[in-house]
């Protein structure tokens, strides 16, 4: 038996199922007093607003949509203030046999929704989502910075420049000045070290010269 021929008890009066893709969103509406209809919209903002107006005009109250990659986010952002939305893991829907097209997918999602057979994923409020995105981006940048510091340290070790053995902070002001001088082609290494030398920034003992930095 084809899934779309199965009849379930209706628990939601008017609902919509959306099959989400990168460039299109296929929406099927169904419920009491409205004709079952499927429309395809582009994922540009103007088209998504048209979809929202269509839902509002026919009294849709609940929407179910797949959490496909990041493509669900702009649709969710536009619709969330007007409808109750269930964001459903796509893996929970793809294992149903007999669905071969986007329209069939959309109709099946809609049928499951109005029958109360879908469980939505937790979606935090907008301010929490923004904070989460910012926090993830910050963690990503922190990881990139650490990776670049390690790469620089490996280059210095390859050149037998023992910066980490002498300077307490290999990314601090003193280290940066030393590295900038080397990159600039400074040959007067003793002068360069004396210009940058700060006892508090070195691992060296009080009676030990920071010039050991360039010892081979």
Note whether 109 and 175 are same-domain residues.
no
Question: Does residue 147 share a domain with residue 117?
Answer: no
CA distance 156 to 162: 7
Which residue, of 126, 159, 184, is where some domain finishes?
126
Residue 132 resides in a domain = no
- Check residue 213 and give its pLDDT: 58
Asked whether 42 and 24 are in contact (CB, 8 A), the reply is yes
pLDDT band at 1 (very low <50, low <70, confident <90, very high): very low
**Cα(49)–Cα(82) distance, rounded to whole angstroms?**
12
Residue 43's pLDDT band, with cuts at 50, 70 and 90, is very high
Residues 116 and 161 in one domain: no
CA distance 75 to 185: 55
| Amino acid 216: pLDDT | 44
pLDDT (average), residues 11-27? 93
Residue 159: the pLDDT is 82
Residue 31 sits in the same domain as residue 115 = yes
> How far is the CA of 179 from the CAs of 131, 141, 153, 156, 176, in angstroms?
36, 22, 11, 9, 5
pLDDT at residue number 215: 52
- pLDDT band at 207, cuts 50/70/90? very low
- Provide the pLDDT for residue 176: 84
- Give the CATH number for residue 88: 3.30.420.140
- How many independent structural domains does the chain possess? 2
Rounded to two decimals, the pTM is: 0.65
β-sheet with 14-20: strand ranges across = 37-42, 24-31, 14-20, 62-66, 84-88
Instruction: Domain of residue 189: give its range.
Output: 139-214
- Look at the block and give the residue holding tokens 């109709």: 107
Considering the domain architecture, whether residues 95 and 188 belong to the same structural domain is answered as no
Compare 98 and 74 and report the one with higher pLDDT: 74
Instruction: Compute the chain's Rg from CA coordinates.
Output: 30
Examine the domain organization and report whether 49 and 152 are in the same domain. Answer: no
Among candidate residues 126, 151, 185, the one where a domain is terminated = 126
């Amino acid at each position: 038996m084809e899934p779309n021929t199965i009849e379930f008890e209706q628990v939601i009066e008017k609902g919509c199922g959306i099959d989400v893709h990168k460039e299109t969103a296929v929406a099927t509406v169904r419920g009491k007093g409205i004709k079952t209809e499927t429309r395809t919209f582009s994922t540009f903002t103007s088209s998504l607003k048209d979809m929202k107006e269509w839902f509002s005009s026919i009294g849709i109250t609940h929407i179910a949509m797949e959490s496909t990659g990041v493509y669900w986010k702009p649709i969710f952002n536009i619709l969330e203030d007007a409808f109750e939305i269930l964001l459903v893991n796509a893996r929970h829907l793809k294992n149903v046999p007999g669905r071969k097209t986007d329209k069939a997918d959309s109709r099946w999602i809609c049928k499951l929704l109005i029958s109360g057979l879908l469980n939505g994923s937790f979606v935090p409020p907008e301010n929490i989502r923004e904070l989460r995105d910012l926090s993830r981006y910050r963690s990503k940048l922190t990881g990139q910075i650490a990776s670049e510091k390690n790469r620089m340290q490996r280059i210095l070790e390859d050149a037998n420049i023992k910066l980490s053995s002498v300077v307490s902070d290999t990314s601090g002001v003193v280290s940066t000045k030393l590295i900038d001088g080397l990159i600039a082609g400074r040959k007067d290494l003793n002068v360069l070290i004396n210009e940058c030398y700060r006892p508090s920034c070195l691992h060296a003992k009080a009676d030990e010269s920071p010039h050991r930095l360039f010892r081979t």
